[in-house]
Structure 1
């Protein structure tokens, strides 16, 4: 036999065998697709859980920071503000409640060397609240 006929027979045998052998690339492709879908679903569920936890932390503050200004001075300032704004709000600002996570964040940012102005911008706290937290060392 000639070399060309032997090569042709081997080629035909390979083609026939390829029909009978399972295609593993389709299986790997399907597994990869299932894996990506499951990762996507898990990521979404984690995001939802994280959002719920964040909302719970923001809705349930349990740390009180006492204002350095006395109550009488607060009332005087409040009355002056009401006269200048010509609006009526029956409840003056009382002690602000701050979450423990915010307190830890303020202390951490202060240790990292951030000034009080920057910490105030990063958090939603006023400069007085931040000074009070730092003076108290985060104690309640």
Structure 2
């Protein structure tokens, strides 16, 4: 009978103490939330500034001369195999382009380079 009474009294004391210490953890949670919100706002402001700077830098850029046109990146062999497989299954060029994340002309170029289309 002694042990249950001791456990009950310890439980009551811990419940009472939790009311006092629970408030300090809420303050900490509130401070963390405020810091998180301010960090998010600062990040958004930096993104806006970066966009503005990028736009300013792009104002002076003219069209690329024909001699310096960027070459198209080669299509990875896995994507080429995917394109060939989709074409063999009967998918249209726009569907293949959508599934492989390429343009229609890139899909046509791949199919022509592999001899599927003439």
- Name the TM-score, length of structure 1 as normaliser: 0.40
Structure having greater relative contact order (Cα 8 Å, sep ≥ 6): 1
In terms of fraction of residues, the more helix-rich structure is 2
- Name the TM-score, length of structure 2 as normaliser: 0.47
